[in-house]
Structure formats: C-alpha cells, structure tokens
Structure 1
C-alpha cells in the first residue's frame, strides 16, 4: 500500500546533517515532545482509541513513519522538521499561498488584500524598505502548519498555526535543478545557512523554492527569510543586515 505522503528522494544527506548536529537533534526531540504535550489543546479532538490503534497498525503494515507520527503527535515527519526550523518551508506548498505578499516590489500595499494590515506594521516596514539587486523585500503574512487525522473520517487534514506578519527577504541562489538535486538535497545545501539564521535570528522562518524564479532568461532557486514583526520589530534594520550577512557568508 502507498504511504500517506510521497517519500522524499535522497533524504539521507539531510538526515546526516541533522544527526551530526547535537543542537539540531535536541530541537527535533523538543518539537516532537511539545507536539505530544499539546495534544489536549489541539484544535481537533484526539483520535478515539479504535482509530488511533488502526492508524498505528496501518503505519506498521505500510512502513509509513509519517502515518505513525500523525497518530501520535499530529505532525508528519517533515512537519516536525519544518516546525523545528531544521528544513525550509516550501513557497506555496500544496498549491496554498504561503507566504502571502502584502506589498509589491516598490514596497506599496497591494489592493483588495484578504488580510488586514495594521498601520503601525506597515509604517515600520516602510522605514526599513530598500529596493536592491538580488534581494527583494516585502511585507508578508506567513504561517506554519501540521497534518492530522480527522477523528471521524480518518482523512488527512491540515491545521495552520503561528500566523504572523513580517518582513520577507527573498534571495536568489544558484539553480540546483541544473545540478540534478532533489528537494531534500537542495534543503541540505542551504542547511548550514538555516542553522546560522536560527542561531543569530531565532524564530526567523526560511522558505525555499527550487527553480522558482526566472529573470532575463535565467532560472534561480529562491530562498526567503521571514522575520515576524512579533519577534523582530525592535532593531528591525539591524536584523535585516544580519540576515544578509548570513545568507551571503559575509
């Protein structure tokens, strides 16, 4: 039988990097246990005993770790990695807009936004906005998510969490598709940058798009560094400079 989600190809390189880093291992373990502890507060009811048991047996029979994790802690394998800030979020994963751009490339608010933008947040963004080559800056709305079983239908559902407005910095990176890298290999290639960002800018969120950007006939991978204003409002300009230094290795 098929697994719930397609398996990531060549994920071993990424897993090896995580295993070799004690802090990454601690972060993943903490995220796993936090997810279990928050089960009673989760937006959905915990699975009834029979459905829980069936989910465990299905996971065993299909050798599907994600099915097991969803039954135990309402997270897929890669939910845990993303929510532990160990791999990037995909731009617009599963056809859903994330992050949601609130401004255009000139730093002006877009019209007819489905999300209310606080005037104070926009003013703070305008104070730091710069138009630069190879780095684009936006005010954006982003979120994390997790997957779980519906307690009645046992269908896979998504739950959004950690929704924030913040400054989104988008960087052009070398095209990994031409190098025939899988998505997991691409994540491994930017993993050191992610770990440095979490060390220097805790609670920043990294987005990644493989072969996502096209300019002047050239294709680029795109990495976004999202700085939620809830955490980075103070000294915002300095935080942006720090992100630039980390991404470009200065």
Structure 2
C-alpha cells in the first residue's frame, strides 16, 4: 500500500494551525538554561522575554563553580564548596561521596603521588568498599591504574579521560539541583527525543517534511522512494547529544 504524501506547503499550513503558548516556550528555555548552568544567558533571556526564573540565579553560579572544580580535577575544593552550600548533600548520598573520593584517588595517581594514593585508598576508600561490593569493584578497578602506563592504552584508561570528570560533575550537579528542589534534567532534550520518536512512527505511514538534523531544525522533504529508516540516523545522533 502506497504511503500518503504530505507536501511541504500542506505541512507548514498544519503547523501554522498549532497554537503554542509563548509563556510555555519561555519556561522551557529558562528551564534548560538554569539546569545546564548558563547563568548569563538566563539573565539576558529573562530581561528580553520577561520570563521570571523560578530560582535565584546566584544558585547557578554556585553550581558552576563546583562543576568547574571537578572538571579541573580539584576535588577537595569541590567537596568543600558543596559542604558550604549544604553539608547534608554528601551526608545523605554515600554513592556520590564515594565517587568524589574515588576521583580524588584518580587525581593522586594521575599526578604520580603513589604513596599518597595508597594511603588514601586504604584509609578512606577501603572501609567503604568492605561495606559495599559495588564500591569495592570500583576501587579495585581504580587501583589497577597503578599497574599500567598512564600514557598508554589500558583496560582502565577511561578513568583518566575528561569524560570521567564530566560524568562526576554531572552527578554532583544533579544532587545540587535536587537539594534545591529543582529538576535534575532539563525538559528540552526529552521533548526532542519525543519528536524524533514521533517521526519514526510517522515514517511508517506517510512521506512528509521532517527534521533530519535537530541542530538545524530544518524541515526537509525527502525524494519519493527514499528509505525512512536511514534518514533518522542524523536525527538520533543530534537528539542523543542534546
């Protein structure tokens, strides 16, 4: 059975009939800017749109200082700042605290401070590993860094990548947001994923103008007979990175 074809003109006409509340759009954008930590952009957007931020924007600055400390490998500084903001965050989140201490150990090893690394692991991390098998496994994996050349490939070289620090920074950022009664994930990426999923479903029924690249958000009309599945690859990668 042939698919229905919806022209670009007809599609645009249908889109024009959709009513979207401007305040809802502004809240969606503000939600993204606040959670992702774009303080200056949030301030400017608030001034230009009239959208009121739901939190004190200074709280963004505090979170970004902590995130930057993690990304630079200054774990002790990050812990001190978190405790200054709210000491209960780490007291009530043992997994997060372990990951912070684990990252301290990684930084000791990265800097070649082997004796300090061994002492720190024995005094701070080993007792936690004895209480939790998951922590013990992560500790053993971290300690195995000492068995490899840090400048060469190894099964645990990922622990030394910027992505490792970024993962911890995101985990800590989420905890700070929750402590401030905020959502830990922005709504916009979830909506983009829903849009991509809806396009996949629609591909089975008709040919229509679609968004192939979510970074550009341009409607593209595919030639007749094009395979729908292949067209979604760029969409999915863009959405996944949102």
- TM-score, normalization by structure 2: 0.23
Q: Which has the higher helix share?
A: 2
Greater Cα radius of gyration, structure 1 or 2: 2
- TM-score, normalization by structure 1: 0.23
Q: Which has the higher strand share?
A: 1
